[in-house]
Structure 1
Amino acid sequence: MKLSKLKQLTVGLSLAIFLASATTSFAQTASTQKKPNIVYFLVDNTGWGSFGVYGGTVPTPNIDKLASQGIRFNNYNVEVQCTPSRSAIMTGRMPVRSGTYTVPWPGQGKAGMAPWEYTIAKLLSDSGYATALYGKWHLGNTQGRMPNDQGFDEWWGTPDTWDEAGYTQWPLFKESGVPVPMLWEGKKGQLSKPVMPLDLKVRPIVDEKYIIPKTVNYIKKNAAENKPFFVYVGYSEVHPPVIANPNFAGKSTARGGVYADVIAEMDYRVGQVMQAVKDAGVEDNTIFIFSSDNAGGGAIPQDGGATNGPWRGDFFNVPFEGSMRVPAMVRWPGHVPSGVVTEEMFAAVDWMPTIAGMVGSSNLVPKDRPIDGIDASNFMLGKSKTTGRDLYPFFGIDGELMSIKWKLYKTIFRYAQSPVSIQQPYVKPQIPMIYDLSSDPHEDNNLMYTDLTLGWVYAPSFKWIEGYEQSVKKYPNIKVGEDFKGYANK
């Protein structure tokens, strides 16, 4: 063999060894690279206009700071009540599909999600995350439907909702046969168990004494162990019965009554969790999400100070924007652009596929069922100018369609009358109403009352309805309380 050929062979062999080594090294680095931690701080019944960055008058410096460090949504949409919104967040599916569009009252039957549902907690657990929930679940109160049955390694809180704190104050409660409301805890692979009564004594201090300390300790523990974690904070306020923490009662600088006091405490608690992430040294590798599950502003007027900003509607006055448009923001230093305020449409159902995309686990999003959420991870990471969502359907607590928002137009097929909407039935207008949200955010002027040339606006809505009805034929909606096992041959 000639010397030149020998050199070529040697160089080629060396290059091959180098490339193989580099590829192996890269693969090892990629496989061992730590996924981002996730903190999801979900507040309860808090309207769009409650915080400083949304025009609120109660000082909220921590929430304002969080908003400035990432993306703040001005067009984030939730479902009709607490359980539907939480189900949408967990599954990426419209609650009408999951049988979670309403909550059975005590004595009406089984509540919450069927164990078959694949939650974001299950997805992240399958991705190697430690997972925990502290606070409100409201997606099932029987064994098999608790958080530790739905992907969480551990949890502490209420399987139902905070109004149960007031049940035992009533003299005839014992005669109802309803069990005394309890706060529970559980671990994966074990049965959940009650640990203490949920009553009016614990109600005002449950965030201070339990939910936030447990969250902070969980962050510190997993950060110290260098394990990626997902902690879901089901914060208690602002949900009835609204009772100010003694350390905050009457002390809000806004002097706006109990509502101002609980918003001030809420901001302080958000700051505690933000500081815990920073102190643990994982701030730059933690996705911090903050949102509300519902718009409560105006629904409980005796609390004072609640507001849904410029939007008409509230918790019961559906499907106007004030009943579905709530605060939301996301931060991930160095990944999510900071200082962004967006009018892009985003919804509760979008979190599951979006979070999966952000952590590189999109392959785990189920393909054997309809997923209504949109993966907006490219938007979150500054790689796209749009979320990909331009239409949002809204269902009532009877599981029937109420409205569809398409771009800047809102088509209303049914609505609840006001005042005191909770006492009123849903009403179906003769012709679906159309509102231009860009010029009429309060939805005062039904354009179909004055100008029939807008009939073309119905087209995107009816196209969506047709597609939805076809999907339901293939994948029938799960009934409330059904122990659904899966779709055959899908």
Structure 2
Amino acid sequence: MTDLRDTAPRGARPSRRDVLAGGGFLAAAAGLSLLASGGRAQAAPRPHILYILADDLGFADLGFQGSDIATPTLDRLAAEGARLRDFYVQPMCTPTRAALMTGRYPLRYGLQTGVIPSGARYGLATDEFPLPLALGEAGYRTALVGKWHLGHADRAYWPRRRGFDSFYGPLVGEIDHFQHTAHGVTDWYRDDAPLEEPGYDTELFGAEAARVIGAHDPDTPLFLYLAFTAPHTPYQAPRSYLDRYAHVADPARRAYAAMITAMDTAIGGVIAALEARGMRENTLVLFHSDNGGTRDAMFAGEGAVSGALPPSNAPLRAGKGTLYEGGTRVVALANWPGRIPPGDVEGVMHVVDMLPTLAGFAGASLERSKPLDGQDMRPMLTAGGAGRSGIVYNVEPTQGAVRAGDWKLVWHATLPPRVELFDLATDPDETTDLAGKYPDKVAELQREIVDLARAMEPPLFYEAALSLTLSAPLSTPGPADPGLGGND
């Protein structure tokens, strides 16, 4: 299979290496413009931050990744920014969002397994020091527009208790995109108040984000976390977007593509709002998915799905919910005019790196944070520095995966156990298992996983799932079920 890193369109513009080689850009990135009066270095201004998260987006499902799905806004942001070609997240939704908020792997606080189900009562530990709180203490205005999914049953877990000045959207992981309901219950809020309003959630998120920007004082730095529910199941979109893909025979793929284009249109409106407010040139825009596209119905969500699932992670293996590249390596970009040079960034970066990196750009203190797993990746983004030397994909009681350099070990510990070793430099699609050829490397990486497992917190999902199962009502046969002891 062909790696999309080699085939994605690059456009007729200087390469990232060419731009970085120019001293003028490095001076700007380092904030080295001289003051006319004193001749001293002037610090770069703190950026506004627009952090955009897609939900279950396939690795191959944007225009600049070679897809036929129309995404002109994201294509433009990618062409003018840095395409993060080796960007990693957790295999599922809640863990990725927790890693973003804390800069720490979810195994540190029990969120490494599954997602927070609608009936669960746990959330992101309240003794963690989340990103919006750090930025707020540094003088940022902080807003969450969109999906939270880090705790809903106790108000202590809600966004405004975790550092956001405002919140608009759902608390749980999956809602009807038009009705804004989960299991028939409305899950839609403005700040802490339930809200009933009509509309397609993607369009509402875009309009709200634009409203937040339009009402914002540009002299105050803004952190806007825009977390779309698209293109997560259920696959739904307005008729106007569905009609654009009338040629697509599969209805699920048609709706999935329409959802992505609707999201791209909403993002375009948000970028236009930044430009209208005079904020765009000093706004760092980040975009990625929370995990790979869904290829297995077991990981599609709490609603029923049928037939082939439409996301594509080609050429990567598998998808959401797995430790393979298709579940954890996602499409990502960073765009900050004049500060982050355009082009492909091949260095490895993980979502846990976002907290220290954004705190560094913002001048925020992380003294209240627990020990971080994330690294400050500003040198990689702005000046061509090296990426990470290794990452922890995830570790939980049943499985684990780590990367050291180009070596990746995937260990399925449940019976019958299976260990796989891949050289990602030569085999990014994970087609050739080298475990039998390099037993010493296998043993080394297994020791790392065991050490992490010994130190991890027990997964909160297991206790919640067991409690929900044991408290479920009695299952009885329906009146029409034959052969269960009824009268002939």
Aligned to 2:171: 159
Aligned to 1:54: 65
CA distance in 2, matches of 1:259, 1:336: 31
Task: Quote how far apart the aligned CAs of 1:464 are.
Answer: 3.8
Which residue of 261, 265, 268 corresponds with 1:268?
A: 265
Q: How does 1:54-93 map to 2 (within 5 A)?
A: 54-93=65-104
Aligned to 1:457: 441
Does structure 2 conserve the Cα–Cα contact (< 8 Å) formed by 1:103 and 1:112?
A: no
C-alpha offsets along residues 80-119 of structure 1, whole Å, 9 cap, x if unaligned?
Answer: 2110000001110111112222334344x42221222111
Does structure 2 conserve the Cα–Cα contact (< 8 Å) formed by 1:115 and 1:149?
A: no
Does structure 2 conserve the Cα–Cα contact (< 8 Å) formed by 1:57 and 1:254?
A: no
Which residue of 208, 224, 231 corresponds with 2:224?
A: 231
Does structure 1 conserve the Cα–Cα contact (< 8 Å) formed by 2:51 and 2:224?
A: yes
CA distance in 1, matches of 2:108, 2:181: 36
Task: Quote how far apart the aligned CAs of 1:400 are.
Answer: 5.1
Which residue of 197, 200, 207 corresponds with 2:202?
A: 207
Q: How does 1:74-223 map to 2 (within 5 A)?
A: 74-101=85-112, 102-107=114-119, 109-141=120-152, 142-163=154-175, 180-186=185-191, 192-196=192-196, 202=199, 205-208=200-203, 210-222=204-216
- Pick closer, same or farther for the CA change 1:229–1:428 going to 2, 3 Å: farther
CA distance in 2, matches of 1:428, 1:164: 38
CA distance in 2, matches of 1:65, 1:459: 45
CA distance in 2, matches of 1:263, 1:481: 30
Task: Quote how far apart the aligned CAs of 1:281 are.
Answer: 1.2
Does structure 1 conserve the Cα–Cα contact (< 8 Å) formed by 2:394 and 2:402?
A: no
CA distance in 1, matches of 2:416, 2:336: 44
CA distance in 2, matches of 1:167, 1:399: 37
Confirm whether residue 446 of structure 1 aligns to residue 443 of structure 2: no
Cα RMSD for the two superposed structures: 3.1
CA distance in 1, matches of 2:400, 2:78: 31
Confirm whether residue 429 of structure 1 aligns to residue 417 of structure 2: yes
Greater Rg over alpha carbons, structure: 1
CA distance in 1, matches of 2:348, 2:427: 17
Task: Quote how far apart the aligned CAs of 1:342 are.
Answer: 2.2
CA distance in 1, matches of 2:287, 2:180: 32
Q: Secondary structure at the match of 1:116?
A: coil
What amino acid sits opposite 1:240 in the alignment?
A: T
Does structure 2 conserve the Cα–Cα contact (< 8 Å) formed by 1:391 and 1:405?
A: yes
CA distance in 2, matches of 1:240, 1:96: 26
Aligned to 2:457: 477
Length-normalised TM-score, structure 2: 0.77
Does structure 2 conserve the Cα–Cα contact (< 8 Å) formed by 1:35 and 1:359?
A: yes
What amino acid sits opposite 1:207 in the alignment?
A: T
Does structure 2 conserve the Cα–Cα contact (< 8 Å) formed by 1:75 and 1:343?
A: yes
Does structure 2 conserve the Cα–Cα contact (< 8 Å) formed by 1:103 and 1:111?
A: no
Aligned to 1:395: 394
CA distance in 1, matches of 2:434, 2:327: 21
- Pick closer, same or farther for the CA change 1:54–1:225 going to 2, 3 Å: closer
- Pick closer, same or farther for the CA change 1:479–1:297 going to 2, 3 Å: closer
What amino acid sits opposite 1:402 in the alignment?
A: G
Confirm whether residue 308 of structure 1 aligns to residue 313 of structure 2: yes
Q: How many residues of Structure 1 are paired with residues of Structure 2 in the alignment?
A: 413
- Pick closer, same or farther for the CA change 1:156–1:167 going to 2, 3 Å: closer
Which residue of 237, 246, 257 corresponds with 2:254?
A: 257
Length-normalised TM-score, structure 1: 0.77
Which residue of 338, 343, 352 corresponds with 1:349?
A: 352
Task: Quote how far apart the aligned CAs of 1:407 are.
Answer: 2.3
**259-268 or 145-154, larger mean C-alpha shift:** 259-268
C-alpha offsets along residues 214-237 of structure 1, whole Å, 9 cap, x if unaligned?
Answer: 101111222x45211000011110
- Pick closer, same or farther for the CA change 1:153–1:310 going to 2, 3 Å: same
Q: Secondary structure at the match of 1:447?
A: coil
What amino acid sits opposite 2:408 in the alignment?
A: K
Confirm whether residue 247 of structure 1 aligns to residue 248 of structure 2: no
Task: Quote how far apart the aligned CAs of 1:147 are.
Answer: 0.4
